Amino acid sequence: MIEGPKDPGKAGRLTYGMVGGGRGAFIGDVHRKAVAMDGKAELVAGCFSQSYEITRATGEAWGIVDKSRLYKNFEDMLKAEGQRKDKIDFIVIVTPNNTHYPIARLALENGIHVVCDKPLTTTRRDAEELVRLTREKRLLFGVTYTYTGYPIVKHMREMVRNGDLGDLRFISAEYPQEWLATPIEKTGQKQAAWRTDPQYSGASNCVGDIGSHIENMVAYVTGLRIQSLLARLDTFVEGRRLDDNASILVTYEGGARGMYWSSQIAIGHDNGLRLRIYGTKASLEWSQENPNYCRVSHLDRPSQVISRGRDRMYPQAQAFSRVPSGHPEGYFEAFANIYSAYIEALAEQLSGKPVSPGSFDFPDVEEGLRGVRFIEKCVESSQKGAVWVDF
């Protein structure tokens, strides 16, 4: 099927600022390119680094015209932007975990909408405060759990919603990586250094970094809510202070069961997020490293592989498909879909129009809070000796 999205977007061109993500930073560059993909928002302000020189060089490289909107710190930025008549429409936060809360809180206090990388915060208390402020200020808050942006994932969700799988019985999800199989944090690798340091990462590394993606993905596709869980968090690399492997059993409300595995010491795996959903009528299987396809198996007929580009999907999912069949649509496009939905909803809200329910197809602050609670409950269970704890 050679066609793109039916509706490329109704939103006008908004403006945004970014905290973190200076030149050479991986995730900041991904966010910026994802926003730019649909041309719905323009980067006009930023505090990209603790070094003002790097911030200025980054702003110049990224085409920020007004140099007065390149700031020395996020406090100056958010206070100044909050007072401008042409203030930014939203802020993007791409800094280490421990700084998400103070930056997001100050943005909300200054009337600025927020997009924040996950996890939302390092503590449940801080996450609850951000939920409260978001509601109080009536602002829009997105959290970038990227993988729900894949069109085929959205199609899988619609299949579950429409009863194509029957009643759900069991969920198997895993996310193995190998990048922390050795103590590279001791070699000066910056990502490894802060992610394995509780001062910056919070109470968990592996569950906080990638296990939280599993929780969000399962909740998004299935609609299931966790009732209780049992978690064992392992630290295999000698001298490491936080977990690098986790095994989690889950009981969902309604009786379904689940099993999650996240690991950063799994040699041979790059970024192997995989989801299997088993119902009474059919099952689904999807892999992030081959994201344009999912396998559907039925009790009463042959299994099939659904192609994101070739096969007609449910309309809500089809609207997010960007390129024809046979053309890989991947990580950047999924990220752009998260931003496209967020910016659409924000544009509707800023115009004073009622925000249509379909515009909210992005992870919000409530999902961010649930992710933080998941991390804390996994840590709690493991610290108590891998026992069942209520969610």
Q: Which domain holds residue 51?
A: 14-146+349-363
User: Which tokens belong to 163?
Assistant: 């009863």
Share above pLDDT 90 across residues of the chain, in percent, rounded to a whole number: 90
| 118 shares a domain with 203 | no
Q: Is 337 a domain residue?
A: no
Mean pLDDT of 98-108: 98
| 297 shares a domain with 186 | yes
Indicate if the pLDDT at residue 366 is higher than 90: yes
Which pLDDT tens digit goes with each residue over 29-67? 899 999 999 999 999 999 999 999 999 999 998 899 999
Per-residue pLDDT, 24: 74
| 154 shares a domain with 79 | no
Indicate if the pLDDT at residue 277 is higher than 70: yes
User: Which tokens belong to 291?
Assistant: 């994201």
| 221 shares a domain with 100 | no
Number of domain units in the chain? 2
Range of weakest confidence among 294-303, 304-313, 348-357, 373-382: 348-357
Element (H, E) at 297: strand 293-298
Per-residue pLDDT, 26: 84
**Side-chain-facing half-sphere of 122: CA atoms under 13 Å:** 19
Q: Measured between alpha carbons, how far is 112 from 104 in angstroms, rounded to an integer?
A: 9
Mean pLDDT of 130-141: 97
| 301 shares a domain with 160 | yes
Q: Is 343 a domain residue?
A: no
| 158 shares a domain with 116 | no
| 358 shares a domain with 229 | no
Q: 3-state DSSP call for residue 283?
A: strand
Indicate if the pLDDT at residue 346 is higher than 90: yes
Mean pLDDT of 189-201: 95
Task: Find all residues with CB under 8 Å of 31, minimum gap 6, and list them.
Answer: 18, 21, 92, 94, 115, 117, 144, 335, 339
Which pLDDT tens digit goes with each residue over 215-252? 999 999 999 999 999 999 999 999 999 999 999 999 99
| CATH number of the structural domain spanning residue 270 | 3.30.360.10
Task: Sort residue 363 into left (φ over 0), alpha (ψ -120 to 50) or beta.
Answer: beta
Per-residue pLDDT, 64: 94
User: Per residue in 60-83, is it b (16+ CB within 10 Å) or e — as a string?
Assistant: eebebeeeebbbeebeebbeebee
Which pLDDT tens digit goes with each residue over 151-182? 999 999 999 999 999 999 999 999 999 999 99
| 116 shares a domain with 49 | yes
